[in-house]
């Protein structure tokens, strides 16, 4: 029994045939799952970018403000958050800070953008809804990913990393419009 000491050399104990079969299946399945991740890097379209830099929050804020200055097309919400429509293929900055995503971004469908994410203070979570993409946002790190919206509509960025008592009010917006 499993609660009693074992006499004799357990290493030489015979295996049950079922054990051998199950272990082989499980081992092969492990290899399949391991390969699946590599395969997706080659053929898959959804991979998190490896491009990241250390950055001073103030520098990141300056980049963002420059972009806002250049490409603002309007304002949205009670607090007047700028709506920014940068050209396809360009560098787009999104600030995470207590407790807002700034600014509102407007993208064209089926165009790619280099989205830069960083936080001004604590960690936040970039949760793009309803498409459902979830990425961690750190202060002092700038993540750069290429994003290609493939549907038009209103999308929201919910903060999904706990960031203090206003965490649940931290919602941003990304609008995707048809190609102009």
Under 8 Å between Cβ of 135 and 126:
yes
- Which CB sits closer to other proteins, 67 or 172? 172
115 burial via Cβ count (<10 Å: 0-12, 13-18, 19+): buried
Residues 18-77 that bind other proteins (CB under 8 A): 18-19, 22-23, 25-27, 29-31, 33-34, 36-38, 40-41, 44-50, 52, 54, 76-77
Does 92 contact Cu ion by CB under 5 A? no
And the tokens for 79?
Answer: 């607090």
And the tokens for 126?
Answer: 């970039």
- Which CB sits closer to other proteins, 17 or 180? 17
146 membership: H or E segment, kind and range: strand 141-147
The residue count for binding Cu ion (CB under 5 A) is 5
The residues with which 114 forms a beta bridge, in sequence order, are 91, 146
Binding mask 130-169 for Cu ion (x = CB under 5 A): -----------------------------x---x---x--
Does 180 contact other proteins by CB under 8 A? no
CA dist 31 and 38 (Å) reads 11
Q: Which does 148 bind (CB under 5 to 8 A by kind): Cu ion, other proteins, none?
A: other proteins
From 115, 124, 145, 172, residue interacting with Cu ion (rule: CB under 5 A): 124
Span from 60-68, 87-95, 146-154 in contact with other proteins (CB under 8 A): 146-154
Q: How many CB atoms lie within 10 A of CB 155?
A: 19
CA dist 59 and 76 (Å) reads 25
């Amino acid at each position: 029994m499993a609660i009693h000491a074992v006499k004799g050399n357990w290493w030489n104990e015979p295996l049950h045939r079922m054990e051998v079969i199950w272990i082989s299946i499980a081992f092969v399945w492990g290899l399949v799952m391991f390969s699946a991740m590599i395969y997706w890097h080659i053929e898959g379209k959804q991979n998190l970018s490896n491009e990241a830099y250390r950055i001073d929050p103030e520098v990141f804020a300056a980049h963002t403000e420059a972009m806002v200055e250049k490409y603002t097309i309007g304002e949205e919400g009670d607090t007047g958050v700028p709506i920014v429509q940068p050209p396809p293929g360009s560098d787009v900055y999104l600030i995470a800070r207590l407790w807002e995503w700034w600014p509102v971004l407007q993208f064209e469908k089926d165009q790619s953008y280099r989205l830069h994410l960083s936080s001004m203070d604590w960690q936040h979570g970039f949760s793009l809804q309803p498409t459902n993409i979830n990425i961690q946002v750190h202060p002092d790190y700038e993540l750069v990913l290429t994003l290609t919206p493939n549907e038009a509509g209103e999308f929201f960025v919910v903060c999904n990393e706990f960031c203090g008592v206003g965490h649940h009010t931290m919602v941003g917006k990304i609008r995707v419009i048809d190609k102009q």
